[in-house]
Amino acid sequence: MEIEAKRWGFRGKQELNAASASTVRGYLNQIIARINKENSSSVIRLGHGDPSHFPSFKTTPAAEDAIVDALRSAKHNCYAPSAGVLPARRAIADYLNRDLPCKLSPDDVYLTSGCTQAIEVAINVLSRPGANILLPRPGFPYYESCSAYNHLEVRHYDLLPEKGWEVDLDAVESIADENTVALVIINPGNPCGNVFSYEQLHKVAETARKLGILVISDEAYDNLAFGSTRYVPMRVLGSTVPVLTLGSISKRWIVPGWRLGWIVTSDPNGILKKSGVIDSIAEFLNISSDPATFIQAATPQILENTKEDFFSKIISTLRECADICYNRIEEIPSLTCPKKPEGSMFVMVKLNLSMLEDINDDMDFCLKLAEEESVIVLPGIAVRLKNWLRITFAIEHSLLQEGLGRIKGFCQRHAKKQ
């Protein structure tokens, strides 16, 4: 039956269009759509950080066994408490307590559906009319999307490529004001592949303390460090400035689809409690979804039973992949890598457009690369650094070699004639 035309009282939410388009997925979907289906070459994806498809990055059997045991016990088919089941929170606190001067308790840990939901929790809790947040450029664009959706003003500070992607602390001080609520750092770095030294983190903490703001430390890639700089978590400086640590098992255990993350408060001085942030986190989790209960229940066994040789193998593989990526990029005159990656799964590469013909910008480069070579890389504009590229090196060696070889051939074809 045909419904009579009339004015309906509902419509889609326009803000979601802009928020979705500016995410990594939004950009990658545009690029993937340009792949030439007539091209017989296999698609090589160097644009996203999920190596779980590849044999070299298979998770540990200890983690799989923990999931199976939790499921078969039939004890975890129920709803979980909004903050997460206590054994999992206790196990995560113990896992994060290594080398901490002030120890965490289970009450400092809140479980989330991956690190993505931890970001949502932090942004929702801190947003208020007129407030602003300081985000790194380049950075992880989900912070911008979440902030825009919650009407939290974003102000960018730069990471300095000529200084190994250090934080521009002068810029931080110049853009902060009385309405600034937090500064976000990502360590190990996504998208830069850098690892902050303790000295750099201490300066960040002192600056945040001076400004009266907390630090959100995104440690999704915690302990995935393979260079000369030792990984240090920001929470060791919790007595200097309040820290919200965001983390998950997704990257270190190579299980991003399991969606188990956390937001952890490091604040021995009790500032987050006095300001109401702790209560707001708990209240927000009361009105949001939880990680699957059986995944939470498996967490203590995952953390306790994973052997060090699994982590060592992943680190060794990432180091080898990073070496291959950096060395192959050095062979391409129109690409410049200012610093060899020391952590995470990514490297930032500068496009020398003056050496390329018929390439307008980074997005144009990525679209044409997908169309001509079936290779996917992320344009720098997606991470707020125009005319750069973010390349993922966490794939099989042979695919990485082939993908970078195709990029080299593409750049040679588009090189300006001398």
Q: What is the mean pLDDT of residues 171-185?
A: 98
pLDDT of residue 49: 87
Q: Are 246 and 219 in contact (CB under 8 A)?
A: yes
Confidence grade of residue 13 (pLDDT, cut at 50, 70, 90): confident
Q: What is the pLDDT of residues 319-348, one digit of tens each?
A: 999 999 999 999 999 999 999 999 999 999
How far, in Å, CA of 264 to CA of 286, rounded?
A: 17
pTM, entire model:
0.96
Residue 395, both tokens: 């794939």
**Which residue type occupies 134?**
L
Residue 326, both tokens: 């950096």
Burial 193-203 (b: 16+ CB within 10 A, else e): bbbbbeebbbb
249 phi and psi, to 5 degrees?
Answer: -90, 0
Domain residue extents for the chain: 14-58+309-414, 61-305
How far, in Å, CA of 68 to CA of 294, rounded?
A: 9
Q: Are 181 and 126 in contact (CB under 8 A)?
A: yes
Q: Are 84 and 110 in contact (CB under 8 A)?
A: yes
pLDDT of residue 1: 52
Q: What is the mean pLDDT of residues 279-302?
A: 97
How far, in Å, CA of 418 to CA of 416, rounded?
A: 6
pLDDT of residue 89: 98
Residue among 337, 344, 367 at smallest CA distance from 162: 337
Residue among 415, 97, 364, 96 at smallest CA distance from 246: 96
Q: Are 345 and 318 in contact (CB under 8 A)?
A: yes
Domain 14-58+309-414 - what CATH class?
Answer: alpha beta
How far, in Å, CA of 369 to CA of 414, rounded?
A: 10
Third-level CATH fold of 61-305: Aspartate Aminotransferase; domain 2 (3.40.640)
Q: Is 231 exposed, middle or buried (0-12, 13-18, 19+ CB in 10 A)?
A: buried
